[in-house]
């Protein structure tokens, strides 16, 4: 995410008033989907049949992490769209530096996706749909641009326990936006469409972070070469602001989980199964 605040005129006192996205924009924190590369690997493992030249779209690609991971792991043409121009520029530079010619980035809005109908084999939407006020319209767009039998890979964050009102209010102040209070069932209802099939789902909890782990992460963010030109005072102020946000989010994520939800746009056969089955635990053998 980016900040429009010009860095050179910022004072440490200004930094104390920045919200989360302005702060991470200032220090160029690389954004990642929940679970990082392990999430991308799980999605690619569970969506078999993606082959060279297939098309993948990520909506809300931010600084490009997931697109670059998918472009590196597959021979697919991987596209990322994000509403933030600065994130798109950052991602393009990163793709060029990595020599990933199959990663493409453009400014775009998830509620008006600038691609034709039935175009993509997979659409990846991580923590983006909760930021889009007209979610139904965005999800309609996700399905519109997917090919027949294409896969919507959604990775939403949700509350599995009710957080205290005080915490919610503080997180909303930190991110400068209302925080959706969705459950996993709410997301499943939103992402489903008549004829679509939720064929894989897996739920994850966030591991609690110690203050030392938060400090080590803040140090890594500030030590990036792109932050070398910041004064020591500004770095200290940004570090203390980041520490505050990450500690707050760590508490909030104690009430949350995320899920990998894979939907096929259509199924070849819609008829219900009569004799349903379940795997016998421990019986699988790979020979």
Ligand X SMILES: C[S@@+](CC[C@H](N)C(=O)[O-])C[C@H]1O[C@@H](n2cnc3c(N)ncnc32)[C@H](O)[C@@H]1O
Instruction: Determine contact, residues 154/261, Cβ cutoff 8 Å.
Output: yes
CB of 13 to ligand X, least distance (A): 27
- Select 177 or 266, whichever has its Cβ closest to ligand X: 177
Site residues for ligand X, window 32-61 (CB under 6 A)?
33, 59-61
Please, which residue, 24 or 76, has the CB nearer to ligand X?
Answer: 24
Distance CA 21, CA 8 (A): 18
Q: How far is the CB of 7 from ligand X (least distance, A)?
A: 19
Candidate ranges 45-53, 76-84, 141-149, 260-268; the one touching ligand X (CB under 6 A) = 76-84
Residue closer to ligand X, measured from CB, 172 or 233: 172
69 scored as a contact of ligand X (CB under 6 A): no
Identify which of residues 83 and 198 has a Cβ nearer to ligand X in the complex: 83
| DSSP H or E segment with residue 62 | none
d(C-alpha 36, C-alpha 233), whole Å: 31
Cα 138 to Cα 110: distance, rounded to the nearest angstrom: 5
Give which of 263, 33, 64, 237 is closest to 130, Cα–Cα.
33
The answer to whether 132 contacts ligand X (rule: CB under 6 A) is yes
In the complex, least distance from residue 68 CB atom to ligand X, rounded to whole angstroms: 11
Q: Residue from 54, 69, 77, 84 that binds ligand X (CB under 6 A)?
A: 84
Q: How far is Cα 20 from Cα 25, in angstroms, rounded to an integer?
A: 8
Q: Which of 1, 8, 118, 123 is nearest to 57 (CA)?
A: 123
Smallest separation, CB 168 to ligand X (Å): 17
Three-state DSSP class for residue 248: helix
Cα gap 119→43, rounded to integer Å:
19
Yes or no: say if 154 and 125 are a contact pair by the CB < 8 Å rule. Answer: yes
Q: 232-253 and 20-27 are packed helices; what angle lies between their axes, rounded to 10 degrees?
A: 130
Least distance (Å) from ligand X to the CB of residue 19? 13
Number of residues that bind ligand X (CB under 6 A): 21
DSSP H/E element including 243 = helix 232-253
Number of neighbours of residue 236 by Cβ within 10 angstroms: 14
Write each residue from 91 to 130 as x if it is in contact with ligand X (CB under 6 A), else as -, in one continuous string. Answer: ------------------xxx--------------xxx--
Nearer to ligand X, 131 or 266 (CB): 131
C-beta of 46 vs 109, nearer to ligand X: 109
Residues 70/174, Cβ–Cβ less than 8 Å: no
22 touches ligand X by CB under 6 A: no
Residue 87 binds ligand X (CB under 6 A): yes
- Cβ proximity to ligand X, 111 vs 201, nearer residue: 111
Query: Between residues 70 and 237, which has the closer beta carbon with respect to ligand X?
Result: 70
The minimum distance between CB 212 and ligand X, in angstroms, equals: 25
Any alpha helices (H) in the chain, and if so which ranges?
A: 12-15, 20-27, 37-46, 65-73, 85-98, 135-145, 165-175, 184-191, 211-222, 232-253
Binding site for ligand X (CB under 6 A): 1, 31, 33, 59-62, 66, 81-84, 87, 109-111, 126-128, 131-132
């Amino acid at each position: 995410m980016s900040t429009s605040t010009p860095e050179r005129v910022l004072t440490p006192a200004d930094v104390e008033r920045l919200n989360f996205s302005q702060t991470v924009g200032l220090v160029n924190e690389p954004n990642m989907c929940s679970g990082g590369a392990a999430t991308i690997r799980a999605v690619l493992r569970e969506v078999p049949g993606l082959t060279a030249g297939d098309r993948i779209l990520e909506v809300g690609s931010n600084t490009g992490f997931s697109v670059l991971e998918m472009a590196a792991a597959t021979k697919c043409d991987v596209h990322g769209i994000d509403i933030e121009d600065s994130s798109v520029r950052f991602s393009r530079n990163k793709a060029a530096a990595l020599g990933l010619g199959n990663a493409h980035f453009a400014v775009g809005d998830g509620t008006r996706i600038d691609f034709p109908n039935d175009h993509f084999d997979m659409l990846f939407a991580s923590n983006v749909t909760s930021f889009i006020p007209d979610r139904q319209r965005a999800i309609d767009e996700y399905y519109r641009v997917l090919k027949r039998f294409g896969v919507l890979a959604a990775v939403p964050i949700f509350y599995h326990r009710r957080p205290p009102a005080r915490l919610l209010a503080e997180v909303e102040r930190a991110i400068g936006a209302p925080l959706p209070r969705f459950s996993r069932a709410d997301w499943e209802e939103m992402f489903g469409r008549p004829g679509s099939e939720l064929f894989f789902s897996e739920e994850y909890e966030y591991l609690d972070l110690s203050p030392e782990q938060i400090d080590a992460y803040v140090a890594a963010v500030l030590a990036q070469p792109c932050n070398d030109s910041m004064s020591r005072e500004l770095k200290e102020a940004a570090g203390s602001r980041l520490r505050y946000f990450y500690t707050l989010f760590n508490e909030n994520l104690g009430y949350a989980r995320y899920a990998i939800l894979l939907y096929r746009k259509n199924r070849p056969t819609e008829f219900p199964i009569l004799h349903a089955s379940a795997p016998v635990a421990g019986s699988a053998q790979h020979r």
